[in-house]
Amino acid sequence: MPAPTMTSDAFVRGEDPTAGIDRPQDLPENLVAGKDALVRVVDRFPMKISPYFLGLVRSADDPLGRQVIPHPAELLDAAGADDPLAEERQSPAPQVLHRYPQRVVFLVSNQCAVHCRFCMRKRRVAGGRQVSAAAIEAGLAYIRGHAEINEVILSGGDPLMLPDGRLFAILQDLRRMAHVRLLRLHTRVPMALPERVTPELAALLSRFHPLYVNLHSNHPGEITVQSAAACGLLADAGIALGSQSVLLGGVNDDAEVLKMLFEGLLAIRVKPYYLHQLDRVPGTAHFQVPLARGLALMDALRGRLSGMAIPHYMIDLPGGGGKVALTPDAIVAKHPTHWRVRNWLGTVYDYPCGDSPKR
């Protein structure tokens, strides 16, 4: 395939599409008070908010503000681990996570449109430095050399923060590998920076079918005219869309909110795919929702929602145990502080289930 000439408008104008608000001092006065305290938080956990997403926020403590605006509670929580899923240990090549036999995650970007305060890859994206061409080539070489790999998931950071030409080159290299049958792309961009999704980008992605896009959306307030149009461009290009949401205290830990979110996603042609339990990185205790509460919310949705709109409730086991749908068959035992959960290999892991502090 010849390299595409199309790029997003921001790239054409020479602007930095990754730019966002990264200092508490620059937040609007009506959204936050006590900015000096937030500076200390950002020194530990950097912030970044796209102007678009900030425009949706009505207060620092509304469901959208809680996701992106720093809070002093982050400095009160030192529990958890910087790499709770042991990804670094399961990274046999630069930017490649190889946890399952036939599937890899390829971390092609370290940049995001927003820094979610609960991000489980803070260690990678906080610096904002882009992945080097050498690291990308080393990752491609690893995938090329392992014929058992039939699915590659582009993630990061956010792969849609790459320029069109660089994203095209990566996809083209992957599509040339006969053993790679499925390509998947995980992104927050349609909800956090929808202007990045242009007709040119949708046309570019459509050249690599079968290609699937899972977007990240946590609250019905993220479904706007702009985000719906971005999803429409992708869907019209024949790209199957799914969503991955995170269960977050004070954001979406309510059956009615989840119902509105999943119905709203389905209405813009996005299939709710996963509802993730929060991965416990430091600074996120105030978002934690007990496992029993998560199961109760899922029970409350059944019968009230189309089966098409109900995602799997997923936990990612510590130590690299992998993803598990939280079903009765997977739960081996329940203890006051933790549950014992069986993964796809039959190995049993302890998973913390305690209540979270509220802010």
- Helix, coil or strand: residue 53: helix
Cα 61 versus chain centre, distance: 21
Q: Return all residues near 33 (Cβ < 8 A) that are at least 6 apart.
A: none
Report the alpha-carbon distance of residue 7 to residue 253 in Å, rounded: 38
Query: 156, 110 in Cβ contact below 8 A?
Result: yes
| 35, 103, 207, 293: the active-site residue | 103
- Provide the token pair at 90: 């399961």
| 48, 99, 124, 196: the active-site residue | 99
Q: Is 129 a catalytic residue?
A: no
Q: Is 116 a catalytic residue?
A: yes
| 166, 175, 323, 340: the active-site residue | 323
Cα 78 versus chain centre, distance: 22
| 117, 121, 184, 259: the active-site residue | 121
Q: Is 121 a catalytic residue?
A: yes
Sign of the torsion formed by the C-alpha atoms of 56, 62, 64 and 66: positive
Report the alpha-carbon distance of residue 36 to residue 54 in Å, rounded: 19
Query: 171, 11 in Cβ contact below 8 A?
Result: no
| 119, 124, 253, 274: the active-site residue | 119
Q: Is 279 a catalytic residue?
A: yes
| 83, 112, 280, 351: the active-site residue | 112
Query: b/e per residue, 9-25, with b = 16+ CB within 10 A?
Result: ebbeeeeebbebbeebe
Q: Tokens 């690299």 belong to which residue? A: 320
| 142, 253, 316, 353: the active-site residue | 316
Nearest to 296 by CA among 344, 247, 341, 343: 247
Q: Is 99 a catalytic residue?
A: yes
Report the alpha-carbon distance of residue 298 to residue 265 in Å, rounded: 17
| 48, 52, 83, 116: the active-site residue | 116
Query: 218, 190 in Cβ contact below 8 A?
Result: no
Report the alpha-carbon distance of residue 276 to residue 287 in Å, rounded: 12
| 279, 280, 351, 353: the active-site residue | 279
Q: Is 62 a catalytic residue?
A: no
Query: 224, 53 in Cβ contact below 8 A?
Result: no
Distances (CA, A) of 251 to 61, 71, 357: 9, 14, 14
| 35, 61, 62, 100: the active-site residue | 100
The number of C-alpha atoms within 13 Å of 143 and in the hemisphere containing its C-beta is 34
Which residues does the annotation mark as catalytic?
99-100, 103, 112, 116, 119, 121, 279, 316, 323
